[in-house]
């Protein structure tokens, strides 16, 4: 029943936007982008903060008049930086934290744009990369870990800012091709070519990169950091081919394929491999 309702709602929204595109193309484009970039879940309330995050020291930063939240578990001078994915927040690292803390390093997790305790209504990898930049400039992490679009944001950041302080990168279930994400959205709502083309032009205006070149595995060809890339064969959100693209283009990468973990990739054996890689 829920699948039927979801199908009806998405097609109804698409029908409305398609009709609107013939009356007011600009409004249709903006509404379509707003739907595409606004998370439906992943927000947190400070008074209901998960216990995992309550144990951290909270530090707030600011980007373009929007505040964003970080959580710090203090250790030695070496820093591990955690970057979550779409419709999530820093609490998603609860299980991995149990494996990382014995390393004795300082761990920093972040709430992305419009997620967790961070402000804003729009989320995209380039904007998330700017958040990463601000924190990285202050704390200079040696290891950075990203899940899902958080991994894509890391790749965008490394490509744009050429951060040589980061020595190791860990990507879990990360997408590469932005065009695949954009086309999936178009197909989900059955949007017409008029809206599709206007959205692609908007992406270029916002991100200053053609949608066909907005591919993290292409960026990775020039990365010098050591990488640990893991992807699950049964991931229905980001298909396994995306992980393989990273592995085939990242010069100094260790790649493993898991099975049965899905997109979340929570697994004690996998986390132990990550710890060994960091060591």
Give the tens place of pLDDT for each residue, 198-230: 999 999 999 988 999 999 999 999 999 999 999
Considering only CA atoms, which of 182, 113, 149, 122 is closest in space to residue 263? Answer: 149
Q: Tell me which of 152 and 5 has the higher pLDDT.
A: 152
Max CA distance (Å), the chain: 60
pLDDT beyond 70 at 149: yes
Give the whole-angstrom CA distance, residue 174 versus residue 149. 6
Q: What is the pLDDT of residue 39?
A: 96
**Domain annotation for the chain: domains and CATH numbers:** 1-37+178-212 (no CATH), 44-176+215-278 (3.40.50.1820)
CB 115 within 8 A of CB 89: yes
Q: Which residues are 229's β-sheet partners?
A: 171, 255
Give the whole-angstrom CA distance, residue 243 versus residue 30. 31
Q: What is the pLDDT of residue 257?
A: 97
What is the rounded average pLDDT of the residues 69-93? 98
Q: What is the pLDDT of residue 46?
A: 92
Q: What is the pLDDT of residue 77?
A: 96
Residue 2 pLDDT class (50, 70, 90 cuts): confident
Summarize pLDDT for 40-66 with one digit per residue, the tens.
Answer: 999 999 999 999 999 999 999 999 999
Residue 1 pLDDT class (50, 70, 90 cuts): low
173's tokens: 């279930």
CB 118 within 8 A of CB 67: yes
Long-range contacts of 22-31 (CB under 8 A, 24+ apart): 22/194, 25/194, 25/198, 28/194, 28/195, 28/198, 29/195, 29/198, 29/199, 29/202
Q: What is the pLDDT of residue 158?
A: 97
Q: What is the pLDDT of residue 233?
A: 97
Give the whole-angstrom CA distance, residue 81 versus residue 200. 31
What is the rounded average pLDDT of the residues 7-25? 92
User: Residue 40, class by beta-carbon neighbours within 10 Å (0-12 exposed, 13-18 middle, 19+ buried)?
Assistant: exposed
pLDDT beyond 90 at 7: no
What is the rounded average pLDDT of the residues 111-120? 97
């Amino acid at each position: 029943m829920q699948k039927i309702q979801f199908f009806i709602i998405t097609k109804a929204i698409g029908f409305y936007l398609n009709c609107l595109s013939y009356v007011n193309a600009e409004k249709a484009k903006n509404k379509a982008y707003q739907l595409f970039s606004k998370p439906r879940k992943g927000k947190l309330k400070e008074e209901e903060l998960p216990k995992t995050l309550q144990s951290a020291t909270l530090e707030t930063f600011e980007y373009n008049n929007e505040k964003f939240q970080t959580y710090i578990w203090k250790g030695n001078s070496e820093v591990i930086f955690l970057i979550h994915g779409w419709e999530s927040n820093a609490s998603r690292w609860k299980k991995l934290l149990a494996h990382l803390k014995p390393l004795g390093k300082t761990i920093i997790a972040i709430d992305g744009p419009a997620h967790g305790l961070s402000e804003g209504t729009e989320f995209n990898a380039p904007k998330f990369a700017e958040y990463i930049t601000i924190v990285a400039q202050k704390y200079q992490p040696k290891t950075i870990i990203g899940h899902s679009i958080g991994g894509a944001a890391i790749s965008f950041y490394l490509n744009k800012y050429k951060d040589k302080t980061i020595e190791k990168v860990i990507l879990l279930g990360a997408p590469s091709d932005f065009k695949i994400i954009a086309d999936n959205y178009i197909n989900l709502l059955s949007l017409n070519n008029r809206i599709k083309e206007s959205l692609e032009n908007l992406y270029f205006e916002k991100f200053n990169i053609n949608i066909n070149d907005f591919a993290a595995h292409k960026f990775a060809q020039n990365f010098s950091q050591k990488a640990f890339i893991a992807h699950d064969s049964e991931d229905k959100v980001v298909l396994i081919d995306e992980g393989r693209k990273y592995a085939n283009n990242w010069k100094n990468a260790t790649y493993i394929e898991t099975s049965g973990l899905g997109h979340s990739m929570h697994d004690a054996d996998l986390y132990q491999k990550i710890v060994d890689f960091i060591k």
